[in-house]
Amino acid sequence: MDLIQAAWMIRDIGQPVSSVHICEDASVIAGGWNGILKKWDHEGAILWSAQCNDRIESILIVDNLVVVTSGLHVTCLLDGEIQWSHPLEGSADMLTFMNGQIIATSSVYDIEHGDFMESAIWRFSPSGELIQVDRMDERPWFIHPSDELIVGLGRPKCGVLIGENHQDLATESPVTCGGYGGERVLFGHADGTISSLEGTTISKESSSIESLDCTEAGFTAALESGKLVSRNADSQELWTSEGEQITTQSSTFEGLNWCGRKSNDSGSIEVRDTSGDLVASAKTASPRVSTSSENRIAFGFEDGQILIWEKDLFERRSSEKSSASDSRSSALAARLRSLRE
């Protein structure tokens, strides 16, 4: 199957894509490295375009508001018009919404020390009022809204912040990423450990964990080495795949894993089923980000393109490929029988 030809929609924002979001109504919002922000409706028609301060790192939907982290700012838009924008201390990183509050994280990177030196968690009302700011030495690498805010931390303290309480995890290694699925929160660590919120070791991989894609059936870990490791809910290994550096991964369409890889100035997308078999692949520009919903998946690329696949069309194209392959196999078998006879 030609994976690119199977795409439901291809759009271009004119700059490297730094974030992409699929809304509940199947509309799509994408942000760029230089601050462009665009929204298309569920049929692919452009709804609006806006220019924000700088690179769009995260996108959050709160009712009819679009909130983004843009360079040093948190910016809120309504129908493409900026309603308010607040500068943070350092780069604006992650976003979530909890108990009626927009929660953002920020971090300050020290070039001389080669590490993050100071971070903060900011709380805003939807109207833009700053409610609270909590500063810390550790950079948050993962946030998740639950009964209390869950924050996975880097050096020096590491571990996890649950509300206002710090808790150690199964390893003292810094948290590098996290994931939520199947009613459990998992953390990836720099030493290759994957741990649970309860402080137990779920698995130990061969290199640092770059991302975790969690579902009810288990999880897939992307390693710094370029290896993908898929495990079930009991942490038993299902399959692995090795290759170039992994830039992003998402899962959808009943458990298919979509992995973006890059090599120098080019890239690729690989789609694997629950057994690890390669379903489809394509050479592309360097993929940077991805996101998925139940019926759609979107990838954003270095060259500014956004590709979106829709479940029914993807499955139809996949079925067409299988039918063509079966026809060729049947024809070959018939010729072989003829030769034998």
- Does the structure show a pLDDT above 80 at 326? no
- Does the structure show a pLDDT above 80 at 142? yes
Residues of the chain above pLDDT 90, percent: 86
- Does the structure show a pLDDT above 80 at 156? yes
pLDDT bin (cut points 50, 70, 90) of residue 113 is low
For 52-83, the pLDDT digits (tens) are 999 999 999 999 999 999 999 999 999 999 99
Q: What pLDDT does 2 receive?
A: 85
**12: CB partners within 8 A, 6+ apart:** 304, 305, 306
Measured distance CA(137)–CA(121) in Å, rounded:
11
Measured distance CA(210)–CA(31) in Å, rounded:
22
pLDDT bin (cut points 50, 70, 90) of residue 116 is confident
Mean pLDDT of the 301-327 span: 82
Q: What pLDDT does 321 receive?
A: 60
Mean pLDDT of the 203-229 span: 97
Please tell me the pTM assigned to this model.
0.91
pLDDT bin (cut points 50, 70, 90) of residue 1 is confident
Measured distance CA(113)–CA(108) in Å, rounded:
11
Q: What pLDDT does 323 receive?
A: 47
Which CATH code of 2.60.40.10, 3.40.50.2300, 2.130.10.10, 3.10.290.10 fits the domain covering 9-340? Answer: 2.130.10.10
Residues of the chain above pLDDT 70, percent: 92
Q: What pLDDT does 320 receive?
A: 81
For 237-256, the pLDDT digits (tens) are 999 999 999 999 999 998 99
- Does the structure show a pLDDT above 60 at 101? yes
Among 8-12, 101-105, 169-173, 334-338, the range scoring the smallest mean pLDDT is 334-338
Backbone angles phi, psi at 321, to 5 degrees: -65, -45
Tokens of 332: 């070959």
Q: What pLDDT does 339 receive?
A: 41
- Does the structure show a pLDDT above 70 at 340? no
Q: What pLDDT does 114 receive?
A: 67
Backbone angles phi, psi at 189, to 5 degrees: -125, 160
57 against 112, higher pLDDT = 57
pLDDT bin (cut points 50, 70, 90) of residue 112 is low
Q: Where are the domains of the chain?
A: 9-340
Measured distance CA(121)–CA(150) in Å, rounded:
12
Percentages (nearest 5) of helix, strand, coil residues in the chain: 10, 60, 35
Say whether 275 sits in a helix, a strand or coil.
coil
